[in-house]
Structure 1
Amino acid sequence: MGEGNDQTLPYNAVEPHILAIDDCEDKDALWDLFCGVMQDDYGAELISYHHIPSPLAPDRLGLKVMAVGHDPAWVNMYRERELFRIDPIAQAANHMLLPFYWSSIEDRIKLTQEQKDFLVLLRQWLKGDGLAIPAFGPSGRNGYFGIGCREAVPDWSRPDAARIYWAAQAFHTRYCILHMAGLDMDFTLTSRQTQILQHLARGLDTQTIAVLLGSQTDTVDNTIRRILKKMGVTDTGSAILRAVSCGLIEP
């Protein structure tokens, strides 16, 4: 997987998995369902997931790391030392469109010394191999999956790898929806403020927005100042990015 000429299966090829994932209403149950599919259908022994909030989202300071099959001591070290910040496999996945095997990371990106040291540490805890899978969600939320086996390269056909890829993306999308529904915003906008911010995101200037809303330019300018104050930012670009991160407006 991961080369430019790779073929993936159509979405409906994994419809049973997708339907079950789409119907799930609880994040813990969703994770259990996904892990069950990976273990029972594909023999995966190592399963991990990074949920990565966008930089201006309400939960931007938290990165959720979930894992099954890994040594708990390694998982705790990974979380406590925030090794995800230097993990080259996870970082590379979020710059690629298709999965690739963990063992190929040194052929894919130029590693820093810190990243090389991380891989040495990783291989002390983890033998075997698996797929690094990028996932892309709403409001700029990315995700990363590691799906593999402990002792050897998983014996997955290309169709199997494609099904794993689609199931991972479906899980991430559903997880984002459930997670964002439970977020507490640290600001609120009126419908008019949201409307103006959406117009700004589309590249309209205040004079044009005033004409569209049947308002005065000064009124729009004052509203924008109130938006910036509410959102705790100093410019409209940051306000737009934060609103997109929170799912309040479309990018």
Structure 2
Amino acid sequence: MRAIKTGQIISDEIAVAFQEDVRECERVARLNVVCLRFASLLGAKALAYHHLPAIGSSDPIGLNVICVGFPAELVSHFEDNRMIRIEPTIHEVLSGGQAKWWDDTPRPTKLSKAERDYLEFAASKVGVGIHVPAYGPNGREGYISIGFGKYRPDFDNKAMITIQLCCQVAHQRYCQLLYKPLPQNVRLSPREREILSWVAEGKSNGVIAEILHITESSVITYLERAFRKLDVGNRVTATLRASTLGELRHR
């Protein structure tokens, strides 16, 4: 597929090919690659995808499945302060139900100091981009942020709808893969669940080792076992999958 030039519409061929590729993905890692390739075809410079807690979930925060191209300082600030819970424009987009350009998204009239500080900080670090809401089973929402750098592509209304449709299809597939039950004879051990719970809290292997009074190599061994059982290849996907299956301890 050819990359989309500024001013071009997103062809039905590109959208259909992307959706077919998404449905053929059997692992989250492969789905990540397909989504990043689609973002590149759009001319995007950055892509972030947050998977938010399901209704009634004990999981207090969302998890960042993809984050590529955004300034490291901004990403660190977002994650360290758990901005997914208080970033006002995210909630505006999710409640509005439509993809919007960052600078076209209305801000609430009343903002806390933390919210104002974050929005000012983010505005100084990124260019133009699109917020995209996505909706899944049991109220498990997704939030996608697509950055284009300094220049705003000339996407018409149909293109914006197509982008949102493609993001929705991808989010649904993520939900399907993450909710896929484990084989009956496969269960995480108490220690594996405990370590993944600390991973979900953002703790490094070294910090987890100190908390549990074990070696860092032991933490890595437990994580590798959990990865094999969950059929995943990284920490983020492991915590997401374990959370959706009710395998995490939440503090």
Structure 2 residue identity aligned to 1:98: Q
Deviation track 1:52-88 (CA, whole Å, cap 9, x = no partner) reads 0124336x23421121111123212211211122211
Partner of 1:143: 142
Structure 1 residue identity aligned to 2:125: W
- Whether the aligned pair in 1 keeps the contact of 2:88 and 2:107 (CA below 8 Å) is no
Q: Distance in 1 between matches of 2:120 and 2:70?
A: 17
- Whether the aligned pair in 2 keeps the contact of 1:134 and 1:142 (CA below 8 Å) is yes
Q: Distance in 2 between matches of 1:31 and 1:95?
A: 26
Q: 5+ unaligned residues in a row in structure 2: which ranges?
A: 1-9, 189-243, 247-251
Q: Distance in 1 between matches of 2:77 and 2:99?
A: 25
Partner of 1:57: 57
Partner of 1:201: none
Q: Distance in 1 between matches of 2:144 and 2:60?
A: 20
Identity among equivalent pairs (%)? 24
- Whether the aligned pair in 1 keeps the contact of 2:55 and 2:140 (CA below 8 Å) is no
Q: Distance in 1 between matches of 2:73 and 2:80?
A: 10
Deviation track 1:151-178 (CA, whole Å, cap 9, x = no partner) reads 1323222232222111100110000111
State TM-score, norm by structure 2: 0.62
SS for the counterpart of 1:118 is helix
State TM-score, norm by structure 1: 0.62
Structure 2 residue identity aligned to 1:20: D
Q: CA deviation at 1:28?
A: 1.6
Q: Distance in 2 between matches of 1:167 and 1:182?
A: 25
Deviation track 1:164-215 (CA, whole Å, cap 9, x = no partner) reads 11110011000011111257999xxxxxxxxxxxxxxxxxxxxxxxxxxxxx
Partner of 2:27: 26
Partner of 2:168: 169
How many residue pairs align between the two structures?
176
Change (3 A) 1:23 1:75: same
Structure 1 residue identity aligned to 2:79: R
- Whether the aligned pair in 2 keeps the contact of 1:130 and 1:154 (CA below 8 Å) is no
Partner of 1:181: 180
Q: CA deviation at 1:96?
A: 1.2
Q: Distance in 2 between matches of 1:78 and 1:246?
A: 26
Q: Distance in 1 between matches of 2:134 and 2:62?
A: 15
Partner of 1:113: 112
Q: How does 1:55-134 map to 2 (within 5 A)?
A: 55-57=55-57, 60-65=59-64, 66-105=66-105, 107-114=106-113, 115-126=115-126, 128-134=127-133
Structure 1 residue identity aligned to 2:35: F
Structure 2 residue identity aligned to 1:35: L
Partner of 1:4: none
- Whether the aligned pair in 2 keeps the contact of 1:38 and 1:164 (CA below 8 Å) is no
Partner of 1:191: none
Structure 1 residue identity aligned to 2:28: K
Q: How does 1:169-248 map to 2 (within 5 A)?
A: 169-181=168-180
- Whether the aligned pair in 2 keeps the contact of 1:47 and 1:145 (CA below 8 Å) is yes
Q: Distance in 1 between matches of 2:187 and 2:128?
A: 40
- Whether the aligned pair in 1 keeps the contact of 2:181 and 2:245 (CA below 8 Å) is no
- Whether the aligned pair in 2 keeps the contact of 1:47 and 1:68 (CA below 8 Å) is yes
Q: CA deviation at 1:46?
A: 1.7
- Structure possessing the higher radius of gyration over alpha carbons: 1
Q: CA deviation at 1:35?
A: 1.2
Change (3 A) 1:96 1:246: farther
SS for the counterpart of 2:142 is strand
